[in-house]
């Protein structure tokens, strides 16, 4: 259970601030060209971050195995939605460059 807490803390300190910064547009000027579609990338990072609490919190709370499984499956669906968002965004950005 200690690793669940450590993983949740690491993800909260790295992915959460980066995702919120991208989503709100608070990115340094020198990085803006590389992170061209910022809002979708921010949504992707927040979707990746959402997996950590959905996986860790039920385990840390001592929930039943069925609740843990349901939360993990929900986290996987959110992650899949985030990955699809990132792929579609990358394709659209590549098409506009050409």
- Encode pLDDT of 39-70 as tens digits: 888 888 899 999 999 989 999 999 999 999 99
The residue ranking higher by pLDDT, 30 or 46, is: 46
> Angle CA(73)–CA(88)–CA(79) in degrees, nearest 5?
15
Q: Which residue has the tokens 């996986």?
A: 55
pTM reported for the whole predicted model: 0.80
Residues in the chain, how many?
98
The residue ranking higher by pLDDT, 32 or 12, is: 12
Long-range contacts of 69-74 (CB under 8 A, 24+ apart): none
Q: Three-state SS for 75?
A: helix
Q: Which residue has the tokens 């807490």?
A: 5
């Amino acid at each position: 259970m200690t690793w669940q807490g450590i993983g949740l803390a690491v993800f909260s300190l790295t992915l959460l601030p980066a995702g919120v910064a991208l989503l709100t547009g608070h990115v340094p000027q020198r990085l803006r060209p590389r992170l061209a579609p910022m809002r979708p990338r921010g949504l992707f990072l927040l979707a990746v971050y959402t997996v950590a609490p959905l996986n860790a919190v039920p385990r840390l709370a001592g929930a039943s195995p069925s609740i843990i499984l349901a939360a993990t499956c929900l986290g996987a669906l959110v992650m899949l939605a985030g990955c699809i968002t990132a792929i579609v965004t990358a394709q659209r950005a590549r098409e506009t460059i050409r």
